[in-house]
Homo-oligomer: A and B are copies of this chain.
Amino acid sequence: MHTPGSSVSGYALLLIVQVVFIIVFGVCTDYAKEVLPPKNETVSAEPAEESSLRKYPHFQDIHVMIFAGFAFLMTFLKRYGFSASGLNLLVASLVIQWAIIMRGCYEMEDGIIPISLGNLIGADIAAAAVLISMGAVLGRTTPMQLLIMGIIEIAIFAGNEYLQLELVKAVDVGGSITVHAFGAYFGLAVSFMLRPAKQSAKTGPLECSSYSSDLSAMIGTIFLWIFWPSFNSALVDGADQERAIINTYLSLAGATVTTFVMSALVAHEHKFDMVHVQNSTLAGGVAVGSICNLMIHPFGALIVGVTAGVISVLGYRFLTPALMSSVRISDTCGVHNLHGMPAILSAIFSSIYASLATEETYGSSLVTIFPAMQAPHKLENPLHYVVGGYGRSGAKQAVFQLMAIGLTLVIAVVGGLITGLILKSPSVRVLEEVELHKDDVFWETPSEEPTMSSTSEPPPQQEGTPH
């Protein structure tokens, strides 16, 4: 019944891609200046070096989120834990290399991408977008489809990131617009293209959790929850960074409380639902992403989190089933509720707060937080002026914030639709219905005894049960 895991050609292709990456790294990258050995004369290079390494604890926190957080969060399916934890590692390992290249295209110096710790942070953050998309289609793709999706997505991601941050000059330190919204809607568009035939548009027999898989998903949830303040604050410094940490911490706390409340209120018999607890508790981190370094004040952070928790639980309860039954968009991990809607919320909040930003509130940091608000005579790149110019008012910045989320949504959806089309092309193996959400198709799995018996004899019920 089962076809082999995959054809050899797919893996050979992957190996070729890896070799190509090595060549590109050889030709187009090198250590950044601060990573080079100090020249004999310049002994005072210390401070510059410090500035990048100072981010190393933040980097490691994000690294935990990408490689442990996402991995275990996706193990909630009862028979898809090998894929969730293993393919997360594979996909992320491939796309971080690719992200260094693609993102590097926009920061080349003399045709060379200078590699420092900053590039690794950027690559990890880019991988988050792909892993979010992976959550939307979890269990419905082959490993090869995931990798193709990742390669295409990173290329589009890098372009969109450059567009929003450097040209539109949107404010988005936590990546709600460029990472969460982008990843979620890209993944949903792919999922739409891979939608099942009408007659089988229902939840698969293995598209559910077990007691132990729900618990292992909590490992992912909790580590994501813990390190989210690092994710949101990694790209800023000083007081900005401390605000980002405080606001994210409070937003997550508020979202968590509301998630439990809403989960009980909307659920059968008023019991808590693990799906909500595993996901909606994190919506507070997404919703505060674009504004975490702004002067939203502690109570503002709580309001953002509380709102995100409410929206996210309601999304899981009502919207996801509706999307499935109406347009057959399946969203295995509910990324629309954890990443999509909270990210849009964050963008809207960022527009509001941008409109209120004044030098009185932000002092000299106004122009570091909102680079486009600096006086136009500091213009460097004419293209910037065409797109947004400098010397923006708060109200103008507010419009650009909305433009950033709008453009991101369009690019993500169009990109995702095209990607989905490619993933469905005849040359790509797709899953049959019986193969959905099932490790055994691509993994050697242990032939399980029905129980972890504490004796070494085979458990009696397996022999003695009459068949």
0 or 1 for each of A355-393: is its CB under 8 Å from B? (1 = yes): 000000111111001000000000000000000000000
A428 within 8 A of B: no
Assess the A64–B456 pair: CB atoms within 8 A.
Answer: no
Assess the B452–A93 pair: CB atoms within 8 A.
Answer: no
What residues of B have a CB within 8 angstroms of the CB of A449 in the complex?
210, 451
Q: A30-B298, A219-B219, A440-B454 are in contact. Are A446 and B214 (CB under 8 A)?
A: yes
Assess the A460–B451 pair: CB atoms within 8 A.
Answer: no
What residues of B have a CB within 8 angstroms of the CB of A205 in the complex?
456
Assess the A465–B464 pair: CB atoms within 8 A.
Answer: yes
- Whole-angstrom distance between the alpha carbons of A30 and B297 in the complex? 6
What residues of B have a CB within 8 angstroms of the CB of A19 in the complex?
306
What residues of B have a CB within 8 angstroms of the CB of A82 in the complex?
211, 214-215, 272, 274, 277
- Whole-angstrom distance between the alpha carbons of A116 and B250 in the complex? 12
A160 within 8 A of B: no
Q: A22-B299, A29-B298, A454-B445 are in contact. Are A49 and B238 (CB under 8 A)?
A: yes
What residues of B have a CB within 8 angstroms of the CB of A110 in the complex?
none
- Nearest chain B CB to A266 CB, angstrom units: 10
Assess the B49–A239 pair: CB atoms within 8 A.
Answer: yes
Q: A37-B239, A60-B226 are in contact. Are A465 and B456 (CB under 8 A)?
A: no
What residues of B have a CB within 8 angstroms of the CB of A226 in the complex?
60, 63-64, 67-68
A185 within 8 A of B: no
A170-178, A256-264, A395-403 - interface stretch: A256-264
- Which of B6, B21, B298 is in CB contact (< 8 Å) with A270? B6
- Whole-angstrom distance between the alpha carbons of A451 and B450 in the complex? 5
- Which of B39, B61, B253, B260 is in CB contact (< 8 Å) with A97? B253
- Whole-angstrom distance between the alpha carbons of A219 and B218 in the complex? 12
Assess the B453–A25 pair: CB atoms within 8 A.
Answer: no
- Nearest chain B CB to A64 CB, angstrom units: 6
A351 within 8 A of B: no
Chain A residue total in the interface (Cβ 8 A): 153
A133-141, A240-248, A406-414, A416-424 - interface stretch: A240-248
A57 within 8 A of B: yes
A111 within 8 A of B: no
Q: A18-B306, A211-B81, A444-B273 are in contact. Are A60 and B63 (CB under 8 A)?
A: no
0 or 1 for each of A116-134: is its CB under 8 Å from B? (1 = yes): 1100100000000000000
Given contacts A8-B265, A53-B242, A81-B218, 15 further A-B contacts (CB under 8 A): A5-B271, A11-B260, A11-B261, A12-B265, A22-B254, A25-B297, A26-B299, A31-B297, A38-B365, A40-B364, A56-B58, A68-B226, A89-B225, A268-B444, A274-B444
Assess the B22–A303 pair: CB atoms within 8 A.
Answer: yes
- Nearest chain B CB to A37 CB, angstrom units: 4
Q: A71-B218, A246-B120, A454-B447 are in contact. Are A363 and B37 (CB under 8 A)?
A: yes
- Nearest chain B CB to A166 CB, angstrom units: 23
What residues of B have a CB within 8 angstroms of the CB of A453 in the complex?
448, 450
